[in-house]
Amino acid sequence: MRNRRALRLEPLKSLKRCYGPGCAKQCERLLANLRGTNLTNVESLIQFHDTLLFLRAFPQSARVVELTDELLAMVEAQVVKFGASPSDAAALDDESVSGIVGTTVRNT
């Protein structure tokens, strides 16, 4: 069963490039509702992190900055959870997602 909060990732992804009237409030509402989200798979975590970084770099409002910072702070706990699974740990070890807090980058 999917986590109900995880279902809000798609609308958040679609709002990340929205800058018209009301976009900031919609984004703020979705971000606030994602507090405490327990993501159900590593792919969702990677997408969530990527979306948060985009919103942090190109925020629609000061409140979006605050909320993305708060949500980015919870990512490491999710990484630790998924790092316990060898297949999930391998997904987090891929260089295309390097830089997520709690992951390591290895080079030969």
Over residues 54-100, the pLDDT tens digits come to: 999 999 999 999 999 999 999 888 888 887 888 888 888 777 777 78
Domain assignment present for residue 23? The answer is yes
Closest C-alpha to 92, from 44, 42, 49: 42
> Which domain does 71 fall in, by range?
18-94
Domain assignment present for residue 50? The answer is yes
Predicted pLDDT at 1: 40
Q: What are the distances in angstroms from CA 17 to CA 6, 7, 8?
A: 20, 19, 16
Higher-confidence position of 3 and 19: 19
Distance CA 37, CA 66 (A): 17
Number of domains in the chain: 1
Other C-beta atoms closer than 10 Å to the C-beta of 74 total: 17
| pLDDT at residue 106 is higher than 70 | no
Burial of 35 (0-12, 13-18, 19+ CB in 10 A): exposed
| pLDDT at residue 8 is higher than 70 | no
Domain assignment present for residue 24? The answer is yes
Closest C-alpha to 31, from 62, 47, 49, 52: 52
Domain assignment present for residue 68? The answer is yes
